[in-house]
A and B are shown apart, each in its own frame.
Chain A
């Protein structure tokens, strides 16, 4: 994976494959603490305690459900390369939270990359999903919620091209100035 936005897309796809109806993605970059954190929280079917011990192993996969594969191992490697770590919290039937932390200024920290395309791809491919995306900086906070979009557009599909175009432009204007 070239950048962190691709890791985020990958982990979110795990959530979707685990039957999530709601996903929350929070990126926090803090210059004052020299930390970058990524949190992806879902209400999918969760991972039991036994499987949680194994999901970081790149050679472990629940191939029948395709729920977990290389994705978490790759993200953990990216975090460790940047003096960080990955944490997984999950409860069967409740959901999963993936939390990755990086040293913001670390020379090996991957760039965030095109987070707008990641969010748009998740929405366009999964219109029924409720996705909340929060980008926090020391003094700034941007919140985007597909529930708000859906309330505004009523019976229109969120993945109709006019709405996708709006979301793309809206996110670009608000996120790219923070990056």
Chain B
């Protein structure tokens, strides 16, 4: 295959635009990967890369992925939070490639919590 050039983006952009008129999604699932010093040292970047790869492989359009800082539970890193539709956010802990794939298949794609990898369900709030 020929080497990619910046100009190749024009065709990709055109393709994406054409497909966009057919599908309308827009952020049904939000994934937040915790990217503090602790998270990065524990493997958060791999978690991010695996999520991106899964999104690409499954060709899903309504998933937003973002990063946040240290959540204060450094010993449980790498961590990620998944919010599916209106359901409560779920914090997953001590992630690795296989756990991320399972979370993607069950929770991100089907809305089914993976309780064995979860720390908690719901977000912390100070009253």
Q: Determine how close the nearest CB of chain B comes to the CB of A64; give it in whole angstroms.
A: 12
CB-defined contacts of B30 to chain A, threshold 8 Å: none
Q: Once the chains bind, are B67 and A10 in contact (CB under 8 Å)?
A: no
How many residues of chain B are within 8 Å of chain A by beta carbon? Answer: 32
Q: How distant is the Cα of A48 from the Cα of B51 in the complex, in angstroms?
A: 37
Q: Once the chains bind, are B56 and A161 in contact (CB under 8 Å)?
A: yes
Q: Which of B10, B56, B61, B70 contacts A165 (CB 8 A)?
A: B56
Q: Once the chains bind, are A121 and B45 in contact (CB under 8 Å)?
A: yes
Chain A residues 146-175 with CB under 8 Å of chain B are 148-149, 152-154, 156, 159-166, 168-170, 173
Q: Once the chains bind, are B9 and A152 in contact (CB under 8 Å)?
A: yes
Q: Is B37 at the interface (CB under 8 A from chain A)?
A: yes
Q: Which of A118, A124, A170 contacts B52 (CB 8 A)?
A: A124
A interface, how many residues as a size bin?
Answer: 35 or more
Q: Is A1 at the interface (CB under 8 A from chain B)?
A: yes
Q: Is B12 at the interface (CB under 8 A from chain A)?
A: yes
Q: How distant is the Cα of A66 from the Cα of B37 in the complex, in angstroms?
A: 10
Measured CB to CB, the nearest residue on chain B to A8 is B40
Q: Is B66 at the interface (CB under 8 A from chain A)?
A: yes
Q: How distant is the Cα of A126 from the Cα of B9 in the complex, in angstroms?
A: 20
Q: A10-B40, A66-B36, A120-B52 are in contact. Are A162 and B15 (CB under 8 A)?
A: yes
Q: Determine how close the nearest CB of chain B comes to the CB of A175; give it in whole angstroms.
A: 12
Q: How distant is the Cα of A148 from the Cα of B49 in the complex, in angstroms?
A: 23
Q: Once the chains bind, are B6 and A69 in contact (CB under 8 Å)?
A: no
Q: Once the chains bind, are A1 and B15 in contact (CB under 8 Å)?
A: no
* Majority secondary structure of chain B interface residues (helix, strand, loop or mixed): helix
Q: Determine how close the nearest CB of chain A comes to the CB of B73; give it in whole angstroms.
A: 14
Q: How distant is the Cα of A18 from the Cα of B15 in the complex, in angstroms?
A: 36
CB-defined contacts of A26 to chain B, threshold 8 Å: none
Q: Is B13 at the interface (CB under 8 A from chain A)?
A: yes
Q: How distant is the Cα of A100 from the Cα of B74 in the complex, in angstroms?
A: 26
Q: How distant is the Cα of A168 from the Cα of B45 in the complex, in angstroms?
A: 14
Q: Which of B12, B35, B61 contacts A125 (CB 8 A)?
A: B35
Q: Is B109 at the interface (CB under 8 A from chain A)?
A: no
Q: Once the chains bind, are A170 and B4 in contact (CB under 8 Å)?
A: yes
CB-defined contacts of B59 to chain A, threshold 8 Å: 161
Q: Once the chains bind, are B40 and A13 in contact (CB under 8 Å)?
A: yes
A contact set with B: CB distance below 8 Å: 1, 6, 9-10, 13, 17, 66, 69-71, 74, 114, 117-118, 120-121, 124-126, 148-149, 152-154, 156, 159-166, 168-170, 173
B contact set with A: CB distance below 8 Å: 3-4, 6, 8-10, 12-13, 15-17, 33, 35-38, 40-41, 45-46, 48-49, 52, 55-56, 59, 61, 65-67, 69-70
